[in-house]
Every structure is written in C-alpha cells, then in structure tokens.
Structure 1
Amino acid sequence: MNKLLSERHINVSDNKVESLGIIFNLDEVDDFEQFNKLSSYLKVLPNKLKLIAFSSNKKQTLKSWDVCFNLDDFGWHGVIKNSELQTFLDTKFDVLISYYEAEVTELKLLTALSKAQLKVGILQTDERLNDLIIKTNLREFNVFKDEIFKYLTILNKIKNE
C-alpha cells in the first residue's frame, strides 16, 4: 500500500467531470440511489457512472449496482481476481469517490489502485488515499454532495450547461 501511494503522480488538469467512479461499503451504506442523484447533480451522464460495492458478507447478493465484491475477489499480495473489478480499476475516471469510513484494507487498496485523475473521499486515517478530503459523517450525504459540488466548481471541473 505504501509503495502504491508513494508512486502516485497527481495530474491536475482543467478537464470537466464527465466520468465518475464510486466505491462504497455496502455494510455502511445501502442506499445506492443517492449516488445516482449525486451523479446527475454533478452533470455526469448515467452511462458514465460506475458503482462498485464491497461487503464483508460473502453471501451478499447483487442488487442494482454494477459490481458487488468481497474478500474472495482478492488474492495474495492484493492481486485482484475479479475481472470486472480490475476493469473498474483500469478505467481512467475523471473523479473517483471513495465513500466509506471503515478501516477495510481492501477498500483502501481499491482506492489506491484506481487510475482515476482526481480521488475524493471522506476523512480517512491515511490522507494519502485521496486528493480531496471532505470531512463529513457518512450519514450526512447531502452535506457531502453540496461540498463536493462546491469544490469541483472551484476547481472548474463542473460543466456549465
């Protein structure tokens, strides 16, 4: 993890947010519809939004999001064994949102492995994971939504349509 985080090169560009990836912990958040609303609030088209959920419960069934993964999808030394999960990590999202509070190594690894240009998350113990940290409680999603919109507007990342 330290090697991944130390090798990260932050590439700040003035590109507008057109694609959005979201990683969330299903054990903490079960309302995935809020992420669809966030996507439209940020003016990201529905086909440019990709959600993945993590659950420590191996029997968790797929619901309405794209990918639900668990500990079985990780191999030795953090190797990703799930091809859909690897595709998500290889996608160069304009923004990646890591919406989880739990100290789960696999979630942190996914954030670190993502090829997203800008990584946004709520406060974590390791501040190197995200480029922009919005200090809010997990249950205060509307505050998070307003803050991310404010900062992306300041960074000139929101499309004016």
Structure 2
Amino acid sequence: MILKRFIDKSNKKYVKKSVLNRVVQPNDNKINSIGVLVDNNEFTDIEWINNLAQSLKVNQNQLKILSYFNPKKEEISVFTNTFAKKDLSWNGQFKSQIAKDFVNTSFDLLINLYQTNDLALQVATAATNATLKVGLNNTNPELNDLIINVNINDKSVFKTELIKYLNILNKLK
C-alpha cells in the first residue's frame, strides 16, 4: 500500500515534469501517423477510430491504438493492445512491452479519447512522443495542445471539430 503511494507520487512528478519540459516545435508537416489512447470503460468503437483515420487520410498501418483496461472487472476488451494500472512502474516507465512500444513510437497526432482523471492514462499521454496532442475536456488540460470541448459520446461532433482545426493548422494532406 505504501509502495503504491510512492509509485503514484513519482508518476505524478513525471507528468508535471513532462508537461513543463515539453517543447512544441511549430512545423508545416502533414499528419502521416496517428496514435489513439482510449479508456476501455468509456470508449469501445474501433470502427469509428478507423473511419476517423480514413477521414484524416492516414493509412491503417500508420494508426496505433492503445487501450487502458481494468482487468479486475469481468469484461473483455475489444482492443488488442491494452495496458492496465499494474503495468505502470516508477517515473513514467511501463512494464508492459505493448505500452512501451506505443509510448516510444513517434506520432504526428495523438488523440486522447478519455475523460477520466486516471494517472496511468495521464502518464501514457505525457510519455508519448507526438507532434500534436488532441484531447477531450479532461481534468488535466496541460497534457494536450488542443482540447475539443465535447462529451466522449458526441463522436460526430468531435470528428467534425478535429477536422476543422486540423485544416486551420494546415495539417491535413
């Protein structure tokens, strides 16, 4: 129990440090790769994510999805790449190879499809190397470069707004 508190405290420090040290370099590169970070308890529509990638003109092999999954519940994840809170170690490090691979991949766009204030999701967002991070109106807005203020269930509004802002930023092909 005490060890979990120390791990949580070190990960909170990691998130704060990552937010402060993040340098956003403006560029005119188009979006070629997308990472999507979801909470399996809030969002399970894989087909919608695939359609979003097609709308953004990104190949399916350049789309990676990582799902935060709570294995204590008697549910099965619809996503193949999952991680849990137990996979989170000290200082923003992950024990799971799936989470390590996702975090170490460099994305042009990271989409955070979660609204919970879960530390594991925040660490994954902070640790992921992405040129542009887009999220919903979650509780830690410092993690995202662009926040779209819609509910997670308003998928069509999110998609419309995301495409609109990416066009304004000249990021679409």
Asked if Structure 1 and Structure 2 have the same fold, meaning a TM-score greater than 0.5 normalized by the shorter chain, the answer is yes
Query: What are structure 2's unaligned runs of at least 5 residues?
Result: 1-14
Identity of aligned residues (%): 37
Q: Does 1:5 align with 2:19?
A: yes
Q: Displaced runs of 4+ in structure 1, greater than 6 A?
A: none
Within-5 A mapping of 1:4-153 = 4-58=18-72, 60-63=75-78, 65-153=79-167
Q: CA deviation at 1:60?
A: 4.9
Instruction: Report if the CA contact (8 A) 2:108-2:130 is conserved.
Output: yes
* Paired residues, number: 158
Please provide the CA RMSD for this pair: 1.4
Moved more, 115-124 or 49-58: 49-58
Provide TM-score, normalisation by structure 2: 0.86
Q: Is the 8 A contact 1:97 1:120 kept in 2?
A: yes
Q: Which has the higher helix share?
A: 2
Amino acid at match of 2:88: F
TM-score by length of 1: 0.92
In structure 1, runs of 5+ residues without a counterpart are: none
Deviations 1:23-52 (A, max 9, x none): 000001121211001000111000000001
Q: Equivalent residue of 2:112, what SS? A: strand
Distance in 2 separating the partners of 1:127 and 1:71:
21
Moved more, 50-59 or 92-101: 50-59
Residue deviations 1:73-116 (CA, integer Å, cap 9, x gap): 11234320011211111111000000101111100111011101
**Displacement, 1:125?**
2.0
